[in-house]
């Protein structure tokens, strides 16, 4: 099993350009998440999904959109990139649990620089 | 409101020393979950442990041990006989009952010097 994979690993954009980050998991997990990591701020949740076809906003959703058309994939889009979106982006997935927050398994991250 | 505080921004120790990383949390949930993750220099996030709020037993796994105390809202992590390979950023996270979301602390960077 590959676990959680992210594409691409690195990307440099110019301000105003758009891009899509792809997250794929092969663990048959229901829940998927996108985080950004900035120095001194830990990880902050951007958007998440509790199942195919459903998405919800996290802590810092502005400037991002997401889609979950297939259970195994979770896409993060930047329509018009801004320098403030320079960050490391992590995708994670977890199995479903109605009672508690289950363990999240993370991808290797995507380092995005917006000039 | 939920919050996780890792007051130690960076810790440096010499190899073979013991080191404790502190994690203090705030939550109104009666049932919640606490996690520790390790982020080595390569950048990936590695799951270390999950504890639930109704099990205050301390846990030991090899050189790692965790001390969970509800009375002080703390979930501290100790590495015994530290090694250079332990050098990483360590994150503590809180998950509430019935939610799918974590609240992460800002991390503690541990440097183990040879």
Q: Looking at beta carbons, which residues of chain A come within 8 Å of B52?
A: 100
Cβ separation A104–B47 shorter than 8 A = yes
Distance CA B97, CA B2 (A): 12
Asked whether residue A6 carries a pLDDT value surpassing 90, the answer given is yes
Summarize pLDDT for A30-41 with one digit per residue, the tens: 999 999 999 877
Residues 6 or more apart whose CB falls under 8 angstroms from that of B32 comprise: A100, A101, B25, B52, B53, B94, B95, B96, B97
Lowest-pLDDT choice from A19-23, A50-54, B36-40, B74-78: A50-54
B99 or A11: which carries more pLDDT confidence? A11
Residues B68-93 as b/e (b if ≥16 CB within 10 A, e otherwise) read: beeeebbbbbbbeebeeebbbbbbbb
Asked whether residue B16 carries a pLDDT value surpassing 90, the answer given is yes
A45/B contact by beta carbon, under 8 A: yes
**A33: Cα separation from own chain's centroid:** 5
Residues 68-97 of A with CB under 8 A from B: 88, 90, 92, 94
Q: Looking at beta carbons, which residues of chain A come within 8 Å of B102?
A: 43, 45, 101, 104
Looking at every residue in chain A, the average pLDDT score rounds to: 92
Distance CA A45, CA B112 (A): 30
Q: What number of other Cβ atoms are within 10 A of residue B67's Cβ?
A: 16
Task: Report which DSSP code applies to A102.
Answer: P
Conformational region of residue A53, where left means phi above 0, alpha means psi within -120 to 50, and beta covers everything else: left
Cβ separation B101–A58 shorter than 8 A = yes
Total CB pairs under 8 A between chain A and B: 64
Conformational region of residue B64, where left means phi above 0, alpha means psi within -120 to 50, and beta covers everything else: beta
Lowest-pLDDT choice from A36-50, A101-115, B47-61: B47-61
Q: Looking at beta carbons, which residues of chain A come within 8 Å of B95?
A: 100-101
What is the mean pLDDT of the segment spanning B41-59? 87
């Amino acid at each position: 099993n590959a676990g959680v994979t992210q594409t691409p690993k690195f990307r440099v954009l110019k301000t105003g350009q758009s891009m899509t980050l792809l997250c794929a998991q092969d663990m048959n997990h229901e829940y998927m998440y996108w985080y950004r990591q900035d120095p001194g701020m830990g990880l902050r949740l951007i958007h998440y999904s509790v199942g195919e076809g459903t998405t919800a906003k996290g802590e810092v959703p502005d400037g991002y959109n997401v889609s979950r058309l297939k259970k195994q994939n979770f896409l993060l889009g930047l329509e018009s990139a801004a320098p403030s979106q320079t960050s490391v982006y992590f995708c994670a997935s977890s199995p479903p649990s109605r009672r508690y927050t289950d363990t999240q398994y993370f991808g290797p991250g995507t380092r995005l620089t917006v000039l | 409101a939920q919050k996780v505080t890792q007051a130690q921004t960076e810790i440096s120790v010499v190899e073979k020393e013991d080191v404790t990383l502190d994690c203090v949390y705030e939550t109104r949930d009666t049932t919640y979950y606490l996690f520790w993750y390790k982020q080595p220099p390569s950048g990936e996030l590695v799951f270390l442990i999950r504890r639930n709020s109704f099990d205050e037993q301390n846990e030991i796994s090899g050189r790692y041990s965790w001390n969970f105390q509800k009375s002080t809202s703390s979930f501290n992590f100790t590495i015994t006989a530290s090694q250079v390979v332990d050098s990483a950023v360590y994150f503590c996270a809180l998950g509430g009952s019935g939610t799918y979301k974590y609240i992460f602390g800002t991390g503690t960077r541990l440097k183990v010097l040879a």
